[in-house]
Amino acid sequence: MTLDFRYRRLGYVALNVSDIERSIGFYEPLLGLQGAGEAANGERLFRCSPRHHDIILHQAAEPGLRRVGWEMESGEHVGRIRKHLASLGIATHDVGGNEAAQLGIHDAFRITEPNTGATFEYFHSFDEAPNAYVPTVAKIERLGHVVLGVQDYPAAEKFFMEQLNFRASDRIDGGVTFMRCFPNPLHHSLGLSNAGTNRLHHVNFMVTDVDDIGKALWRMKKNDVPIVFGPGRHPPSDSMFLYFAGSSVGRLLGLHPGAANGQRRRHRAAGEGSLGADHGRVEGQVGHRHRRAERDRSRHRRAVAR
């Protein structure tokens, strides 16, 4: 099947947090995001780029993923993907005019993605931000990607590739698939992780300077933020990483330095082989894979959901 809808990019990620004021005190001074106002239901918007917003925080009883926004190439492509999803029997729901205006998005609708259980939002174009994004404690270039844990990993990968027009860029041992939304040239904006339950795995931010990794490590430790994985290096891209727990989010946040071109490296096609283990430190140990890091991270969950 040839799919006729095209994406522009990962638009934003909205997170449920158990203590929004505590989270604001984390995302601005410690992570380096810039406040961008409020939206419906008291949601707080944050930026790490010239766009209207990149992250949304929503006060909730339980922390985790609220939704993922995907920016399409145009209103025509929003209509095309909506028609396609309806043909699959997936219910679509309009985003109300007032809420859309507060979010600075156009022609937006939402679905429940059937494999991850996540709420996906599709729209075209952001309103312009009222002022320039100014980096503070970290030279954040952009929102990088979101990784979702999925219970039925093979079915999810198949659905995203065959029905949602994603491409697999790389895989790790049948445990993680890194995917790009076609025809966006960046290596990946979504990851699917083989997990026992459907849940948020982590959100990533790309930084321009490798020194930001060391500085973030110092900031997080100074403020008693659990370091879950790293610092280390991904062998395929040779990029460094640091994963730490997000305040009141209950999941991981990660920093990766990226090249100025956004790491538009060659995509590894299915069948070319899987990627090797990351080289990094998990609680003082070396050479663990992502799945080992996931098990180690579970020991921190009670402390994370603050």
CATH number of residue 80's parent domain: 3.10.180.10
Rounded Cα–Cα distance for residues 306 and 301 (Å): 9
Q: Which of 186, 190, 283, 287 is nearest to 234 (CA)?
A: 287
Pairing status of strand 199-207 against strand 44-47: unpaired
Query: For 39-93, what is each residue's pLDDT tens digit?
Result: 988 999 999 999 999 999 999 999 999 999 999 999 999 999 999 999 999 999 9
**Is 1 part of a structural domain of the chain?**
no
Sign of CA dihedral 100, 105, 109, 110: negative
Contacts of 3 by beta carbon, 8 Å cutoff, 6+ apart: 84, 163, 165, 182
Query: What is this structure's pTM?
Result: 0.84
**Is 239 part of a structural domain of the chain?**
yes
**Is residue 87 within 8 Å of residue 95, measured between CB atoms?**
no
The torsion angle over the Cα atoms of residues 21, 26, 29 and 30, rounded to 10 degrees, is 170
* The one-letter amino acid at 296: D
Contacts of 239 by beta carbon, 8 Å cutoff, 6+ apart: 233, 256, 257, 258, 263
Question: Does 29 share its domain with 152?
Answer: no
Count of domains in the chain? 2
Task: Evaluate if residue 289 carries a pLDDT over 80.
Answer: no
Query: For 172-210, what is each residue's pLDDT tens digit?
Result: 887 999 999 999 999 999 999 999 899 999 999 999 888
The residue segments making up the domain with residue 62 are 7-126
pLDDT category of residue 256 using cuts at 50, 70 and 90: low
Question: Does 284 share its domain with 151?
Answer: yes
Question: Does 54 share its domain with 163?
Answer: no
Per cent of the chain over pLDDT 90 is 67
**Is 135 part of a structural domain of the chain?**
no
**Is residue 209 within 8 Å of residue 201, measured between CB atoms?**
no
